[in-house]
Chains A and B, each alone.
Chain A
Amino acid sequence: AQSVTQLGSHVSVSEGALVLLRCNYSSSVPPYLFWYVQYPNQGLQLLLKYTSAATLVKGINGFEAEFKKSETSFHLTKPSAHMSDAAEYFCAVTLSGGYNKLIFGAGTRLAVHP
């Protein structure tokens, strides 16, 4: 069965600092991996996805993530945090060949302070 673990339910960084949000997955078959962002009182928006092409994936708003099969990880990074990055971030996995059923991690709330 697939599962996703996000380490750290809350992450706080200073504006301009590196953002690192951790995601580890468990899957018996090659996974597809996604990062979604949720701003307060809004729906989820896709940041980026890994679908077995390049292992380093670039997304919107300056975010990127690297798929590391040996570590079963798909950590999200951004070199320099902006105040507008404050939101809830969700890592998710789907089963290759499945019905796009997203299995979400518990989420990480990112706070950015001046």
Chain B
Amino acid sequence: DTAVSQTPKYLVTQMGNDKSIKCEQNLGHDTMYWYKQDSKKFLKIMFSYNNKELIINETVPNRFSPKSPDKAHLNLHINSLELGDSAVYFCASSHQGRGNTEAFFGQGTRLTVV
């Protein structure tokens, strides 16, 4: 019974295409996140939603658009994909807390843009 699940796990697509990654959590958390891990394994937060409200929006190209239909789901849509978007994208969730609560991560989506 996966806590944070992402689909797809692998995504290979051509430059210029539009793609989406879906994320669902069954932990009852109210906050969800997208992190990007680059080829050097460096992890950086992209977005966070709390109860469907965007609360963190880092410096990310506006080709990336998150959407949270409800607090258990957070999707990431990417327009006009570029080679540099190739990375592993992780969804995570947590209780809101005050910075001290554990984030649970999904298995990641490996995006390859060719």
Which single residue of chain B is at the shortest CB-CB distance from A103?
B45
B4, chain A: closest CB distance, angstroms: 7
Number of interface residues of B (CB under 8 A): 30
Tell whether, in the assembled complex, residue A101 and residue B107 are in contact, meaning their CB atoms are under 8 Å apart: no
A6, chain B: closest CB distance, angstroms: 11
Contact of A104 among B33, B42, B48 (CB under 8 A): B42
Interface string of A39-58 (1 = CB under 8 A from B): 00111111001011000000
Interface string of B74-114 (1 = CB under 8 A from A): 00000000000000001010101111111111111000000
Contact of A43 among B33, B98, B100, B105 (CB under 8 A): B105
Which single residue of chain A is at the shortest CB-CB distance from B108?
A43
B2, chain A: closest CB distance, angstroms: 10
Contact of B45 among A43, A51, A101 (CB under 8 A): A101
Task: Report chain B residues within 8 Å CB of A94.
Answer: 99-100
> Quick check: is B55 within 8 A (CB to CB) of the other chain?
yes
With the chains together, A97 CA to B96 CA distance in Å? 10
Task: Report chain B residues within 8 Å CB of A32.
Answer: 99-100
Tell whether, in the assembled complex, residue B48 and residue A101 are in contact, meaning their CB atoms are under 8 Å apart: yes
Which single residue of chain B is at the shortest CB-CB distance from A49?
B102
Which single residue of chain A is at the shortest CB-CB distance from B107?
A43
> Quick check: is A90 within 8 A (CB to CB) of the other chain?
yes
Task: Report chain B residues within 8 Å CB of A51.
Answer: 100
20 A-B pairs whose Cβ atoms sit less than 8 Å apart in the complex: A32-B99, A43-B106, A45-B105, A46-B102, A49-B102, A88-B41, A94-B99, A95-B99, A98-B98, A99-B55, A99-B56, A99-B96, A100-B31, A100-B94, A100-B97, A100-B99, A101-B48, A102-B45, A102-B103, A106-B42
* A interface list, Cβ under 8 A from B: 32, 34, 36, 38, 41-46, 49, 51-52, 88, 90, 94-104, 106-107
Q: A52-B100, A101-B56 are in contact. List 4 more A-B contacts (CB 8 A).
A: A43-B108, A94-B100, A98-B99, A106-B40
